[in-house]
A and B are shown apart, each in its own frame.
Chain A
Amino acid sequence: SQKIEQNSEALNIQEGKTATLTCNYTNYSPAYLQWYRQDPGRGPVFLLLIRENEKEKRKERLKVTFDTTLKQSLFHITASQPADSATYLCATSPSGGYQKVTFGTGTKLQVIP
Chain B
Amino acid sequence: DADVTQTPRNRITKTGKRIMLECSQTKGHDRMYWYRQDPGLGLQLIYYSFDVKDINKGEISDGYSVSRQAQAKFSLSLESAIPNQTALYFCATSDSDSKGKLFFGEGSRLTVL
Contacts and interface: CB of A to CB of B under 8 A. Distances in A.
Interface of A: 4, 8, 31-34, 41-46, 49, 51, 89, 91-93, 98-106
B100 A49 contact: yes
Given A44-B43, A103-B42, A103-B43, A91 B100 contact: yes
Given A8-B40, A43-B90, A101 B105 contact: no
Per DSSP, chain B at the interface is loop
B102 A101 contact: yes
B47 interface: no
Interface of B: 4, 40-43, 45, 48, 50, 56, 88, 90, 92, 97-107, 109
B106 A43 contact: yes
B40 A105 contact: yes
Nearest to B101: A46
A22 to B, nearest CB: 15
**Max chain B C-beta neighbours (<10 A), residue from A8, A44, A89, A104:** A44
Nearest to A104: B42
20 contacts: A43-B92, A43-B104, A45-B104, A49-B100, A51-B99, A89-B43, A91-B100, A92-B100, A93-B98, A93-B99, A93-B100, A98-B48, A99-B98, A100-B45, A101-B100, A101-B102, A102-B42, A103-B42, A104-B42, A105-B40
